[in-house]
Amino acid sequence: MKIKDIELYKIKIPLKNPITHNLGSYNFSEALIVKTRTEEGVTGWGEARPREYLTGETFESLHLSINHFALNYLAGKEFFTFHEVWEYLKGDIPVPRGMLSAYCGFELAVLDLAGKIFGYHLRNLVGKSRVGAFSEAANIGHQTQTKDLEKICMAIKLGGYPVAKIKAGLKDDIERIGIIRKHLGEDFFLWIDANAAWDYHSALDLIARIKAFNINVFEQPLPARDLVDMARLRRDENIRIIADESLCSLEDATRLVEASACDIFNIRVGKCGGLQKTLELIKFAVKHNVEHLMGSLVAETGVLLQPLKLLINGICRPCIVDGLRQNKTLLEDDIINGDSPYGLGIDINEKKLERYTNKTTVINLQSW
């Protein structure tokens, strides 16, 4: 397998409804779709989504990073087996925290191509060792007005969700949480996601009042780097904490464990550097007895959602899965045609891809 070029598509797909939380607001699904291609015309696909508040990446930096990976690590390189590709990507390419999303799109596109060339499906790498069922979470964001919460709670029940994640950071948080608890019932699993909205003292005040509603877990109550205060909050208030913005890399995971700053890792393929680095984080979590949940970034297309689907059917004990249905419930359209027998297991509708693309860039690897 020798890659001829890499094409980058900047896409923009409308959402059915806007999505809002403390760190961002979205009216469109915007991403960089990565296409790897051989001389024979075989293609592989990946997706990179910039999140400045997570990894510091922008669309401009994604282009620069993927160009760096392509020219420095793929140009002139030939592979003869799928596992040769897998091991090369796993061991030979340094990826700093500020390039994780770019590497995710790059890695997925190379692995998808390799799977198609060598007749290999990525599900074979993650196995089928998952123990027990996971709980799928519904999301209640800032875009849902307080007056509409009862209606949303009914939809959550009808949808069969056993968990609801409530985005905090609004002036009437306490009222909203009370309404949701009332309509979902006393035993329903409720999870508060502050998206780093609070400082330590406001968190103390709000958590003291929110506790009355029997909240099961708090996600990222403080800014990403405030690990000392997250650990203090966890200990002194006797609450369970999920790390999200604080967790992108293996180095982040190590710091969180050393600081005793959380109980659960929120692991997302798109922010954690792709499939291999996600698997490393899961192994680290299991080794250090940290629970983990699997999630997706807001408004992923089916390209980036596919690795999540592969992982939750092959890994041990993800306690919760967040965002599994979102490309159907949030996006006006998607670029996935259906299934493929090899690679990531997806088939791309290139006509739709072109419809939603507003910029393309080609990285030619043959002249290097």
CATH number of domain containing 241:
3.20.20.120
What is the domain-level CATH number for residue 66?
3.30.390.10
Q: Same structural domain for residues 161 and 236?
A: yes
Q: Is 86 contained in some domain?
A: yes
Higher-pLDDT residue of 149, 23 = 149
Q: Predicted confidence band at 366 (pLDDT cuts at 50, 70, 90)?
A: confident
Q: Is 335 contained in some domain?
A: no
Q: Is 334 contained in some domain?
A: no
Q: Same structural domain for residues 103 and 136?
A: no
Looking at the 3D structure of the chain, how many domains does it have? 2
Q: Same structural domain for residues 254 and 325?
A: yes
pLDDT of residue 324: 84
Q: Same structural domain for residues 103 and 164?
A: no
pLDDT of residue 276: 95
Give the E-state strand segments of the chain in sequence order. 3-21, 24-38, 43-48, 135-140, 163-167, 189-193, 217-219, 241-243, 264-268, 291-295, 318-322, 336-339, 346-348, 357-364
Q: Is 272 contained in some domain?
A: yes
Q: Is 338 contained in some domain?
A: no
**What are the pLDDT digits (tens) for 253-264?**
999 999 999 999
Q: Region 139-145: what's the mean pLDDT?
A: 91
Residue numbers of the domain that contains 112: 3-123+343-364
Q: Predicted confidence band at 132 (pLDDT cuts at 50, 70, 90)?
A: low
Mean pLDDT of the chain: 93
Q: Same structural domain for residues 105 and 134?
A: no
Round to whole Å and give the CA distance between 332 and 275: 26
Q: Is 337 contained in some domain?
A: no
Q: Is 11 contained in some domain?
A: yes
pLDDT of residue 19: 80
pLDDT of residue 360: 94
Q: Predicted confidence band at 325 (pLDDT cuts at 50, 70, 90)?
A: confident
CA distances for 98 relative to 78, 207, 226, 237, 249, angstroms: 28, 32, 19, 33, 10
Q: Same structural domain for residues 71 and 190?
A: no
pLDDT at residue 23 is higher than 70 = no
In sequence order, the β-bridge partners of residue 361 are 8
Q: Is 336 contained in some domain?
A: no
Nearest to 227 by CA among 193, 197, 264, 252: 252
Q: Same structural domain for residues 279 and 171?
A: yes
Q: Same structural domain for residues 115 and 48?
A: yes
